[in-house]
Amino acid sequence: GGSAAPDFKGFTLLMPAVSVGNVGQLAIDLVISTLDMTKVGYFYTDCLVPMVGNNPYATAEENSVELSINAEVYSLPSKKLVVLQIRSPFIKNKYRPFCETLLSWVKSSKCARVVLLSSSHAYQRDDEQLLGTPLRYLLTPDLEKAVGGRMKELNWKEMEKVAAYPGINNTDKVLHIPGGGITKLLFTESCSEGIQMAVLLKFCSEGDNIPDAFVLVNYLNEWLQLIKSEVSTSNNSTDPSSQWKIPSSWRLLFGNGLPPALF
């Protein structure tokens, strides 16, 4: 309440980049729904398309009429987790002011680190990125010191840099995240401002991106252990995806069914 910045000292801020297939946002939906996180406020910004709708995590008729807007904050103190869910696209040319506002909020609310869930166009991968897993991570130098060893233990693959001028000069390498929305800007700003940030992303294409969201949230869970992975050793091992609770709003992800009158 009021204008005082909430104290999330030592918390991990989890948020999506509005990127190809909305994979990060869908993965965040699964986290909020499964952990039954409490809405603690909203993130006021003029950088996102305005939006209002019903409660996406409704569990009963009583709470289905609560309104939700384009950027809301959820908290789970027991896991020191705060989540910013973004539900609408960015207004053109508003990436930079959003990043500035967000990072100043991260500092004022004393969050320990930021984890950004993102995605990138599968068809724009270079040869090296076509091999192995479609999942990648990035760490700012400040976070690399703290958790770099853990990523190597998990056998994770860092996002490759690609040639700035392919075919002309292959020595100048740059970070290229096509379809990643604010990912690259937010990451580079965090590097220069000394903020601990991790980016977890998946290469994917537009379509039914629910399977991609499950893959990305399981990837996140390997590291942060938000839910216990009950994978049994027998042949019929539990699919870790079945432990995430699908929110009620996903029923209409592709609109209503086809009207029978068509046939």
| Domains (range + CATH), the chain | 12-255 (3.40.50.10900)
pLDDT at 55 (0 to 100): 92
Q: Angle at Cα 185 formed by Cα 107 and Cα 200, nearest 5°?
A: 80
Average pLDDT over residues 244-263: 84
The position carrying tokens 């049994």 is: 232
With cut-offs at 50, 70 and 90, classify the pLDDT of residue 110.
Answer: very high
Q: How far apart are alpha carbons 98 and 100 in whole angstroms?
A: 5
Average pLDDT over residues 130-144: 94
| Residue 153 exposed, middle or buried by CB count within 10 Å (0-12, 13-18, 19+) | exposed
183: nearest Cα among 170, 169, 202: 202
With cut-offs at 50, 70 and 90, classify the pLDDT of residue 230.
Answer: low
Lateral strand order in the sheet of 71-76: 38-42, 71-76, 81-86, 12-16, 113-121, 197-204, 135-139
256 pLDDT more than 90: no
Check: CB of residue 24 under 8 Å from CB of residue 18: yes
Average pLDDT over the chain reads 90
Q: Strand, coil or helix: what is 76?
A: strand
Q: Greater confidence, 1 or 39? A: 39
Percent of the chain, pLDDT > 90? 74
- Record the pTM: 0.90
